[in-house]
Structure 1
Amino acid sequence: MRRSEEQFRILVQGVTDYAIYMLDTSGHVSSWNIGAERIKGYKQHEIIGQHFSRFYTEEDLNEGLPDIALATAFRTGRYEKEGWRVRKDGTRFWANVIIDAVRNDDGELIGFAKVTRDVTERMNAQKELAKAREALFQSQKMEAIGQLTGGVAHDFNNLLMAVLGSLELLRKRISADPRALDLLDNAVEAAQRGSSLTQRMLAFARRQDLDLQTVDLPGLVDNVADLLERSIGPAITIDMRFPARLPNVTADPNQLELALLNLAVNARDAMPNGGKIVISAREATVAGGDPDMAAGRYACLSISDEGEGMDKETLDRAIEPFYTTKGVGKGTGLGLPMVHGIMKQSGGQLVLRSEPQKGTTAELWLPVAQEQEITAPVRAMEVQATPEKRALKVLAVDDDALVLMNTVAMLEELGHEVIEASSGQDALGLLEQNPDIDLVVTDQAMPRMTGTQLLGHIKERSPSLPVILVTGYSELPKDFSKVPLLSKPFMLSQLSKKLAEALSSAAAAPDEDAAEAPAS
């Protein structure tokens, strides 16, 4: 028996992964193994006779957990729980604790056997796994919302195309009754607001066209400073802080200006009694392993306010489309989702930091441009395409009857002869029957044969025939990036300019081909 007891003592003393020790009936330590010394940091002579409550945190001591543990073990024979425990040096670890009541042959309590295991690594791994699962869930949720939003916006653009186009044509024919004109203008403005709404939805879904260029951030902010000040009002001051040297970034300047304006207006709304907005920038490097951004150099443009801030729940939902804390009619809930979509499509990231009553900081992370030389962007308003004067024979293709009717009416209003086709297959047949067609205007998203597929067939048969692709969102393959593109909804003037642009490009194409041909 003595040999058996000695072997058991050696076994217990030799265990290093578990703290195994005895407590007397009042909870004082009466034995101590090497595992307890390794885990808790106390030498045997430092802890024998001390009460085991010294391993508990102050919060647990205030709740009386040591007494509850012994009382439970005494009553039921066993107590098991996980929680924070304190080492000799004051650091904490997450412990799995088991306390068993030890009784003699007569059933009399003679003490407690206590086993403690450090499971901090397991707990951290579980937390990381839960965090990864939540991140995956959020990513899948946002992707699903993005797909739904993009599809809704596409269909909504078709409806707005018919509404806006018809209203514009109707205005040319309506009587000069001021009341009637006011009502018509009101309908046009409402439809245009709907168009702006769909653009924000498409931005969130990352399905709008971006004209990525090399952009000087301080210069861009300086260019829109006056607009920002007019938008936020005199009660808000803007403080700009930029380093002496900041690398240029890759971005769409127009979309970036729109994002900056949205964030400034949000900051203004968070400070109803006035305050200060700080716009600053810095360069940073993102290492590999970041799930949101690729490794590389970035410039971070931040917009900070002194406003009400957001709690964690609001912050977590801030980029969800249609989620807003503003009053009814004061916000669509698409401003931040739009900015998020623009940043993701630009290869960057929107990062929000906020605390209640401590303000909010929105950070726009944009990749540093590989080519630092800035090419002056050509703004849409600077393009002065000369509308085509001669009458054309145009083939209009669209599977949506409302949109097709509207497109035909607009082309006829411009003085052109129009042939209609409701599908790509019908269009090919009409092209065979009408070899004198001057131009094709086709929708992109059509069943069985898309606009780009139709364009491919046309280029095989009539390489010089100009084609305009009409789309509700950015959906073209990269091979078709140079094809004249007309985004829905469009107005009569935009259609006229696009016709002139398509004809000019088609006229210039033979010269370009000749210039590229090798000398014989």
Structure 2
Amino acid sequence: MDDRTRIAELEQQLAMLQARVEHIQRTDATPFLASVLAAVPAFITRLDADLCIKYMNRVSPGVSKADLIGAQLLDFVAPEYVETARSCIEGVMETGRPDSYRADGIPMNGRVGHYDVQVTPVSEPDGSLGALLITTDITDSRLGAEELAHSRQRLQVVVGATRMGLWSLDMKTRAMRWDARTFEIFGVTTTPEWADYVTDAVHPDDQARIRREQEGWLQKSRFVSTPHRIVRPNGDVRWVQMTASNHFDEEGTLARVVGGHLDVTEQRGLEDELRETQRREAVGALAGGVAHRFNNLLTAIIPSLEFLRDVVDAEHVPVVDDATHAGHRAAKLVRSLAAYAGTRRPTGGESHAVGPIVERAVDVFRRDLHEGVEVTVAIEDDVPPIGCDPGAIGLVVSNVLANTRQVLPSVPGPTLIRVEVRCLDGEVCITVEDDGRGYSEEEQRSIFQPFFAARRGRGEGGLGLATADAIVHEHRGTIEVESAEGRGTTMTIRLPVADAMAHDERPRTPVEASHADREHLRVLLVDDEELVRKVVLRTLRDAGHKVFAVDNDEDAKYVLTQHPDVDLLLLDQSTPTGTHSSFVAEVRERCPAARILYFTGHDVSREMAAEVDGVVQKPISRSSLLEAVTRAIDMPPVLADSAE
């Protein structure tokens, strides 16, 4: 072929190439490809055989392509991921098979990036293999996943701390999903239908209320039920509260409900205890005022009936005796009310032997028993004393014994009641056992509630065992009942042994008494209740004593000024004037030989009792009042503060 022919062929080929270039330029393939690469959210990078960047479709804000083209890709990979990236890319170029890896980029613009990288082989013009990297920035999704994981961890902590059971409801399929805790709360192994929740799970007494609430639950974005009871298949009753959030689709249709159940049984119990405490405090405040007023009235009534008994005809004496007995029962009821309300203050610092307390209570109990009932008492030797209010513990034993009367056979016959006192495991145990008809398990659960016997049709009922329970707990003890229908009842009172410590008693002065004749004493009565003043005045004057009666401390001071030789003061703790501690101290200075007795319907604290020579509780009979006066005169008075 000559040169001309060769040149002609080359010119023809060149013309064809130019035509092809023009055709390519006229089409939109290149601009389209450029647009596609620019729109792809991923970073598309082409590497040569040396892992140098030859092309990038886009870069991060604030970064120039000029800084990247020709640079080593690994220079932009966090050091701990360099070998992972190198190994993957070189493996792809060697095998020709695509692969992927994840890596962090070095901080750029103050931010560490997290990337997912897909690697595929690319043929170079010289026949070698390069690599094409499609890099997706997963920083936001990874941070979101981490935050989601942290949220789940926080949720697990909250759920673990509250022990809440979680569940979800798909409104399209009506399928519910429960977690393990929800199954545990309800005591079941299968998930109920949402529509059957109230019928299958809720306590019958709460169903009407929860049905009314349920009608509005799915209409809100979030709802919280009121606490309500559920009944487990085994009969256990638990208190729960439900909370949930409703999730709606784009069309506003409810799609999903996510919620939880919280077992609030213990919280409910604490709330009940708090309400009971508040109720007792309210009853205590009321009982304190009622007890004082009733005791004042009874202090006037009981001695007046005793006066009346001495002057009425013999045929009317039983009537007066019945009225007097009713007065004493009323006094016992007032004491029981005060004890149940928690207004009593046991003198736990003073030690008392339990045996005599029990024996006195049993002696009184025996008087009212019908024929055929025998009471035996066994008191173990060397039973240690207990720190107690002996009157209060005597009331406990009396009330427990009285309760046995309610369960004795209705037909008279041989019946045995056994009373035992012993020391066991550092506690003094008083056991009262009978062979009566006993109590059912249901009755035993409510036996210490007020008026239990009356509600069960077993007598008139009252505050007996409720009072006993309150007093025993005030003495840091326990009272237990063991019984079965037809097999009798055993009640055990456990009280802690007295602390081995010296009693904080006030010293007494050896002052010589000025009253040579105990039958003609000079007595000052300070009481704001006129009826009480009248009956005490009559009682003491009939016994031969000279009595001054006033209703306030100021008048009492005037009497002491005129009659400094007063032998005894009967001081009502609740007079409306004066501060008794300062008044008592002033009396000690003026009349050091005088005896001072608190004459009150309230319980007196050990601190206040230590200031005086004794406490006389209202109401009181004539004989008991005269005995208290004589007993106070026979003991030396407490030292005045100034003498200590």
TM-score w.r.t. length of structure 2: 0.52
Match of 2:599 among 459, 470, 474: 470
Shift of 1:339: 1.1
Aligned equivalents of 1:409, 1:22: Cα separation in 2: 83
Q: Determine if the alignment matches structure 1 residue 56 to structure 2 residue 191.
A: yes
Aligned equivalents of 1:440, 1:220: Cα separation in 2: 29
Shift of 1:151: 1.8
Aligned equivalents of 2:343, 2:170: Cα separation in 1: 67
Counterpart in the other structure of 1:129: 267
Aligned equivalents of 2:488, 2:605: Cα separation in 1: 41
In 1, are the aligned partners of 2:598 and 2:614 still within 8 Å (CA)?
A: yes
Q: Determine if the alignment matches structure 1 residue 402 to structure 2 residue 564.
A: no
In 1, are the aligned partners of 2:438 and 2:483 still within 8 Å (CA)?
A: no
- More RCO (CA 8 Å, sep 6+): 1
Aligned equivalents of 1:337, 1:24: Cα separation in 2: 53
Q: Determine if the alignment matches structure 1 residue 364 to structure 2 residue 499.
A: no
Match of 2:449 among 311, 315, 318: 318
Aligned equivalents of 1:190, 1:255: Cα separation in 2: 21
* Partner-residue secondary structure (3-state), 1:152: helix
Counterpart in the other structure of 2:63: none
Shift of 1:205: 3.9
Q: After superposition, where does 1:380-395 map in structure 2 within 5 Å?
A: 389-395=518-524
In 2, are the aligned partners of 1:469 and 1:485 still within 8 Å (CA)?
A: yes
| Cα shift readout 1:117-154 (whole Å, capped 9, x = no counterpart) | 665xxx13x33333222211111101211221232121
Matched residues, percent identical?
23
Counterpart in the other structure of 1:426: 555
Q: Determine if the alignment matches structure 1 residue 417 to structure 2 residue 546.
A: yes
Shift of 1:446: 0.4
With 473-482 and 441-450 compared, the bigger mean Cα shift is at 473-482
* Partner-residue secondary structure (3-state), 2:635: helix
Aligned equivalents of 2:586, 2:580: Cα separation in 1: 10
With 126-135 and 414-423 compared, the bigger mean Cα shift is at 126-135
Aligned equivalents of 2:179, 2:321: Cα separation in 1: 83
Q: Determine if the alignment matches structure 1 residue 202 to structure 2 residue 331.
A: no
| Cα shift readout 1:192-237 (whole Å, capped 9, x = no counterpart) | 2322322323333445575655567789768977877886768889
Match of 1:141 among 279, 287, 293: 279
Match of 2:634 among 480, 498, 504: 504
In 2, are the aligned partners of 1:217 and 1:249 still within 8 Å (CA)?
A: yes
Aligned equivalents of 2:516, 2:574: Cα separation in 1: 27
Match of 2:438 among 282, 290, 307: 307
Shift of 1:426: 0.5
Match of 1:265 among 381, 402, 406: 402
Aligned equivalents of 2:168, 2:531: Cα separation in 1: 83
* Partner-residue secondary structure (3-state), 1:505: coil
Counterpart in the other structure of 1:483: 613
* Partner-residue secondary structure (3-state), 1:463: coil
| Cα shift readout 1:477-519 (whole Å, capped 9, x = no counterpart) | 614335222222223332333232332324x779x99xx99xx
| Cα shift readout 1:322-354 (whole Å, capped 9, x = no counterpart) | 9942659x4351212321342244233556789
Counterpart in the other structure of 2:7: none
Match of 2:393 among 232, 235, 256: 256
Aligned equivalents of 1:21, 1:490: Cα separation in 2: 70
Unpaired stretches in structure 1, ≥5 consecutive residues:
42-52, 66-71, 87-91, 286-296, 374-385
Aligned equivalents of 1:488, 1:99: Cα separation in 2: 66
Closer, same or farther: CA 505–138 of 1 in aligned 2, 3 Å: same
| Cα shift readout 1:47-71 (whole Å, capped 9, x = no counterpart) | xxxxxx9742699799799xxxxxx
Match of 1:169 among 307, 321, 324: 307
Q: Give the residue type in structure 1 aligned to 2:438.
A: G
Q: Give the residue type in structure 2 aligned to 1:471.
A: T
In 1, are the aligned partners of 2:595 and 2:613 still within 8 Å (CA)?
A: no
Aligned CA RMSD, in angstroms, stands at 6.0
Aligned equivalents of 1:154, 1:452: Cα separation in 2: 20
Q: Give the residue type in structure 1 aligned to 2:290.
A: V
In 2, are the aligned partners of 1:277 and 1:303 still within 8 Å (CA)?
A: yes
Q: Give the residue type in structure 1 aligned to 2:277.
A: S
Shift of 1:369: 2.5
Shift of 1:98: 8.1
Aligned equivalents of 1:490, 1:282: Cα separation in 2: 33
Aligned equivalents of 2:615, 2:355: Cα separation in 1: 31
* Partner-residue secondary structure (3-state), 1:495: helix
In 1, are the aligned partners of 2:447 and 2:465 still within 8 Å (CA)?
A: no
* Partner-residue secondary structure (3-state), 2:446: helix
Aligned equivalents of 2:169, 2:529: Cα separation in 1: 82
In 1, are the aligned partners of 2:351 and 2:388 still within 8 Å (CA)?
A: yes
Aligned equivalents of 1:241, 1:417: Cα separation in 2: 47
Aligned equivalents of 2:534, 2:145: Cα separation in 1: 93
Counterpart in the other structure of 1:445: 574
Closer, same or farther: CA 230–405 of 1 in aligned 2, 3 Å: closer
Shift of 1:445: 1.3
Aligned equivalents of 1:442, 1:475: Cα separation in 2: 13
Counterpart in the other structure of 1:158: 296
In 2, are the aligned partners of 1:394 and 1:416 still within 8 Å (CA)?
A: yes
Aligned equivalents of 2:470, 2:222: Cα separation in 1: 53
Counterpart in the other structure of 1:48: none
Closer, same or farther: CA 97–273 of 1 in aligned 2, 3 Å: farther
Counterpart in the other structure of 2:55: none
| Cα shift readout 1:31-59 (whole Å, capped 9, x = no counterpart) | x9xxx999899xxxxxxxxxxx9742699
In 2, are the aligned partners of 1:311 and 1:356 still within 8 Å (CA)?
A: no
Q: Determine if the alignment matches structure 1 residue 183 to structure 2 residue 319.
A: yes
Closer, same or farther: CA 352–404 of 1 in aligned 2, 3 Å: same
Aligned equivalents of 1:477, 1:221: Cα separation in 2: 23
Shift of 1:116: 6.0
Q: Give the residue type in structure 2 aligned to 1:269.
A: Q
| Cα shift readout 1:345-365 (whole Å, capped 9, x = no counterpart) | 423355678999999775534
Q: Give the residue type in structure 1 aligned to 2:272.
A: E
Shift of 1:11: 9.6
| Cα shift readout 1:451-478 (whole Å, capped 9, x = no counterpart) | 5543222113222222232111223561
Closer, same or farther: CA 220–80 of 1 in aligned 2, 3 Å: same
Aligned equivalents of 1:113, 1:243: Cα separation in 2: 75
Aligned equivalents of 1:166, 1:230: Cα separation in 2: 25
In 1, are the aligned partners of 2:537 and 2:547 still within 8 Å (CA)?
A: yes
In 2, are the aligned partners of 1:395 and 1:419 still within 8 Å (CA)?
A: yes
* Partner-residue secondary structure (3-state), 1:447: coil
Q: Give the residue type in structure 2 aligned to 1:439.
A: L
Aligned equivalents of 1:332, 1:406: Cα separation in 2: 32
Aligned length: 446
Closer, same or farther: CA 497–241 of 1 in aligned 2, 3 Å: closer
Shift of 1:265: 3.1
In 2, are the aligned partners of 1:243 and 1:281 still within 8 Å (CA)?
A: yes
Q: Give the residue type in structure 2 aligned to 1:140.
A: Q
In 1, are the aligned partners of 2:383 and 2:423 still within 8 Å (CA)?
A: yes
Unpaired stretches in structure 2, ≥5 consecutive residues:
1-40, 42-135, 157-165, 202-214, 233-237, 503-514
